[in-house]
Each structure stands twice: as C-alpha cells, then as structure tokens.
Amino acid sequence: MYVYADHAATTPVHEAARKAMLHCLEEDYGNPSSLHSVGQRAREILDEARADVAACLNAEPSEITFTGGGSEADNQALLTGAVLGARKGKKHLITTAFEHHAVLHTMKALEKQGFTVTYLDVHADGVVRLEDVAAALTEDTALVSVMMVNNEIGTIQPIGEIAKLCQDKGVLFHTDAVQAVGHIPVDVKALGVDMLSLAAHKFHGPKGVGALYCRKGIRPEILIQGGAQERGRRGGTENMPGIVGMAAALKEAVLGLPAHMEKVTALRETLIAGLSKIPHSRLNGHRELRCPGTVNFCFEGIEGESLLLWLDAKGVAASSGSACTSGSLDPSHVLLALGLPHEIAHGSLRLSLGADNTEEEVEHILKVVPEVVAYLRGMSPVWEALETGKQKHLI
Ligand SMILES: *Cc1c(COP(=O)(O)O)cnc(C)c1O
C-alpha cells in the first residue's frame, strides 16, 4: 500500500477539472482576445470560469484576477498594498513570522525598497492574536497580511476579526487563503477582507494557476506588463486550460465541502489519537482551531529528513513542513516561530489528508510511523543520550 498524505504540498487533479482542461486543449482552444468566433467562444468560457470562481467565494467576477498560482497572487497583493500605502505616505507593513515564503520573501523585497515590516510572533498554539495585530498598527501602516490557514501546521487564524480591526483603522488587509479555499468555508464578504489569494493545485486543480480577489475599489498593481488581458491587471494570453480546470475543481470542492470536511476531520482525529501514543511526541498547533486535513508532529530524537525517506520506502508520502524548505537542513521557520527549540523543530512530520484518503490508509500510516520512529531512535545517538539521562527530554 502506498498512501499519499501530502495534500498540503499539492493534490491530485479532480476528474471534473481534467475533463474541463482537456476540452480546452482539444476543442475550444481559442485565444479570448481574438475577434473571430473561435476567440469569442474562448472568451465566453473564460467569463464563465471567472463567474464560477467568484460565486464560490461570494465575490463579483470583476473582483477576480487570474494569476500564475498562489505565489504570484501573494506577490501582487502585497505590492498592491504597498504601492497604495506609499501613495498616501504610509510605508509600514505588518505580517506574521510564519507566513509562506511567497509572502515573507516579498516582504523582504519591499523592505529593500524602503518599507518597514513588522513580523508578528505567533503564539505557541500557532494562532495569531488580534491584540498583537492591534498593538503593531501605527498611523503609518499601509497593509496587514495574515494567512488564513498555515500550510505546515494547519492552524486557522482569526481572519474575520483581523479584517474588521483593519477596516476600522483604514488599513488594507490581505489574507493568503491558499490552504483554506476548498478546505473550509471562505466567503470574502463575510470575512471582510480586501484581498485574498488562492491556488488551484491545493484543491484538486492544476498547478501554475491561481487567483487574487481584490475588493471593488482596489485596483491590483501590475506585476506582468503586457496586453490588456485581465482588464490590464496581468499581461499575457490567459492560461485557459488552467483557469477552467481551477474553476471546475473549485466548484466541486465547494459543493462537496460539508461532506469533505466531516470525512477528513474524522480521519485526522484518528491520526492524531494514534500518533499521540508515540512516547515523547508532540502535536504542533492548536488542538481545535485547525483545518480538516493537516497534522504536524514532532518526535524527539528524530531527524525529519530520514523519517521522510523511511516513510516513503514504507509506503507513506509525507512532508517535514513546506515543500519549498525541505531539501535544506534548516528547521522550519514556522516551528521556530511557535517558539520550539531547534532540536525539536528538526524532527517534525507533516501529514496532510484529503477526501481521497481512506480509513485503511490512515491505519497504514498508524502502523508505519511508530515503527519507523522506533527504528530511527534505536540508531540515534541523541536518543541514547536522552534515554540514559545525559540529556534532558524536552517533550
Ligand atoms: C502552496 C502555497 C502557496 C504557493 O502557491 P503556489 O501556487 O504553489 O505558488 C502560498 N501560500 C500557501 C499558504 C501555500 O500553501
């Protein structure tokens, strides 16, 4: 048995998305900017996809800009907030220390351009506190960006409350909702956010396509100069197969959301209960405020990379955190932001389930993980030092 438990990294493409994409590749292959009927048909398909994506988020079609993925949407949102702020002489930005690198690295780039950025600490439970955001706001603050669901530990942030606070203070608010859309309810109007990013491949759509929601009245800054596509907000012929695939996947995800959430949450609970029995282990992030599928554990005396390789060999695809940072030996910036010591942050395991996972698959994970942890601890000098009392247990 081989179990794919890395849905936070990417998801398999839904059949409805695949069919919609194939149709675009094989039949309606037109360029939506062409004036002839082939082009006009493509234009209709594009408009329909935009209306579908908007409806799934309770937005207006004109508030949706299609992008080349979640990272691009994040880049565009932060640039938009920064430029709009700078026009009013505001050059302070606020985010958290545990954002995705698409946000963190864009913030670093904006710092080089003269903006000041506050990186809020996250509490040990992986949840940002409203009062910390409130305390960081100044007269000079242009934009606050806080992710809706953290990609490594799965905790849900109080986005509606933060958006309300920002609105009251006249500060723009963006949320990276890449791990939320298609997994928990996301209603841009109910949340009151100004900007929101999403990526198709995190909800069973294709890779390389995403969207940025920008509330009416906020014009997104241009990242890609070119033609008049996306009403002049993003040049380049539209990625038609990607866009229709995203719209189809999102419709499926939103339609099946209650059932999906119930099923995946039940699987996750079984997983947490089973993994918690491993001695000197720790569930990272708030026990309840978490998205259905993602769990993140630390096992003392274990090195994350070897754990992953052994799990892969035993039939479990997992991650040590974000796909972008694995491959380096640095501990996860997310776990460090929660205040975990380096020794522990190194031994983390992220398992992220999807609606396609089964109870049998979770049982397989629960059989394999304790075996591999015990095996690796048996070979670990660190574990020996802990067990012989030469070093103190931290978990
Ligand atoms: C995956 C992810 C991104 C990046 O999306 P891409 O489409 O891969 O560029 C951004 N933010 C979060 C929280 C993510 O999980």
Task: State yes or no: pLDDT of 330 exceeds 80.
Answer: no
Q: Which of 10, 11, 71 most suits a substitution to test ligand 1, by most atoms within 8 Å of the C-beta? A: 71
- Quote the pLDDT of residue 393: 87
Task: State yes or no: pLDDT of 92 exceeds 50.
Answer: yes
d(CA 353, CA 338): 23
Global confidence as pTM: 0.96
Helix axes 359-379 and 304-313, enclosed angle (nearest 10): 130
Return the amino acid letter for 240: M
Atom of ligand 1 nearest to the CA of 69: 7
Higher pLDDT, 167 or 326: 167
Outline where the chain has alpha helix (H): 15-26, 37-57, 70-87, 101-112, 130-136, 159-169, 188-191, 240-255, 257-275, 304-313, 333-337, 342-345, 359-379, 381-387
Mean per-residue pLDDT, 317-337: 70
Q: Is the CB of 46 under 6 A from ligand 1?
A: no
List, for residues 153-178, the tens digit of each pLDDT value.
999 999 999 999 999 999 999 999 99
Question: Residue 329 — pLDDT band, cuts 50, 70, 90?
Answer: low
Residue 332 DSSP SS3 = coil
Task: State yes or no: pLDDT of 326 exceeds 50.
Answer: no
Question: Residue 322 — pLDDT band, cuts 50, 70, 90?
Answer: very low
Residue with tokens 């493409």: 13
Tell me if residue 324 is catalytic: yes
Task: State yes or no: pLDDT of 64 exceeds 70.
Answer: yes
For ligand 1, atom 8, which residue shows the shortest CA distance?
70
For ligand 1, atom 14, which residue shows the shortest CA distance?
178
List, for residues 182-191, the tens digit of each pLDDT value.
999 999 999 9
- For residue 138, how far is its CA from the centre of ligand 1 (angstroms)? 29
Question: Residue 304 — pLDDT band, cuts 50, 70, 90?
Answer: confident
Q: Which of 95, 202, 239 most suits a substitution to test ligand 1, by most atoms within 8 Å of the C-beta? A: 202
- Quote the pLDDT of residue 339: 86
Rg (CA), the chain: 22
Question: Residue 324 — pLDDT band, cuts 50, 70, 90?
Answer: very low
Task: State yes or no: pLDDT of 268 exceeds 80.
Answer: yes
- Quote the pLDDT of residue 321: 58
DSSP 4-61: E-BTTT--PPPHHHHHHHHHHHHT----TT-SSHHHHHHHHHHHHHHHHHHHHHT--G
Mean per-residue pLDDT, 222-230: 93
- Please state, for a pLDDT cut of 90, what percent of the chain lies above it: 86
Q: Is the CB of 176 under 6 A from ligand 1?
A: yes
- For residue 149, how far is its CA from the centre of ligand 1 (angstroms)? 11
Tell me the Ramachandran region of residue 326: left when phi exceeds 0, alpha when psi lies from -120 to 50, beta otherwise. beta
**How many alpha carbons lie under 13 Å from residue 376 in its C-beta half-sphere?**
20
Atom of ligand 1 nearest to the CA of 322: 15
Q: Is the CB of 230 under 6 A from ligand 1?
A: no
Looking at every residue in the chain, the average pLDDT score rounds to 94
- Quote the pLDDT of residue 342: 81
- Quote the pLDDT of residue 323: 44
